[in-house]
Homo-oligomer: A and B are copies of this chain.
């Protein structure tokens, strides 16, 4: 499998490229609008055709690259959770669904709690967790149908049941860490690690007192339209 991690320094977002080197079909997970040309250039130089644009959720901190990338790759299909409320999506997925490109089979894991429509994507010893599980952290739960108890259940019952050596690739990191593992997060995640129970986690999450993301007012409506911002301005 061809695998590339890409970074947007403005929103601190990781985008992931996965491709089958034999069929030359590619997937992008959590693309960023401002990086669409960069991503298309990487795809072009690697000789790949973009087949699917997967979203882990409706982001509040950046606008997805889905619309711009579909302009470049008109046959690419967007994939979002059924519960995300993004009626624009070509394919709406639910827990345990599969997405396949060539020999790469991606399993959908419903991991709500940061938003109602959060999913993680698992393939080949890697799990792409969006904002559900971050490296030594997790997504906040105080907007977009956030629910700390549901997030605790998603992480502990879905993600923490994966093998310890599974590599965790999140949607963001703000201190330059690029990946983690399930085993590491079970031990060292200060909010969700093995010494924190559900009540402690809910208490932590309900007392973060964070300001709203700078771009939430433009990002959420734009992402509910798969990044077609001209429809919401």
Contact status A9-B6, CB under 8 Å = no
Measured between alpha carbons, how far is A70 from B8 in the docked complex, in Å?
A: 32
Q: Which of A1-48 contact B (CB under 8 A)?
A: 4-9, 35, 38, 42, 45-46
Q: Are A178 and B46 in contact, CB atoms less than 8 angstroms apart?
A: no
Chain B residues with CB below 8 A from A9, complex form: 9, 176
Q: Which residues of B contact A208 (CB under 8 A)?
A: none
Question: Does A217 count as interface, using CB distance less than 8 angstroms?
Answer: no
A230, chain B: closest CB distance, angstroms? 25
Q: Does A35 lie within 8 Å of B176, measured CB to CB?
A: yes
Q: How far is the CB of A89 from chain B (nearest CB, A)?
A: 25
A105 at interface by CB-CB < 8 Å: no
Copies of this chain, tallied across the complex? 2
Contacts of A188 in B (CB 8 A): 45
A175 at the interface (CB under 8 A from B): yes
Query: Is there contact, CB below 8 Å, between A46 and B184?
Result: yes
Interface residues as binary, A150-181 with B (CB distance below 8 Å gives 1, 0 otherwise):
00000000000000000000000001111100
CB distance from A12 to the nearest CB of B (A): 8
Q: Are A176 and B45 in contact (CB under 8 A)?
A: no
Partner of A42, one of B8, B42, B45, B177: B177
Instruction: Find out whether the CB atom of B4 lies under 8 angstroms from the CB atom of A179.
Output: yes
Q: List 14 A-B contacts (CB under 8 A).
A: A5-B5, A5-B178, A5-B179, A6-B177, A6-B178, A7-B177, A8-B176, A9-B176, A38-B175, A38-B177, A42-B177, A45-B184, A45-B187, A178-B178
A residues neighboring B (CB under 8 Å): 4-9, 35, 38, 42, 45-46, 175-179, 184, 187-188
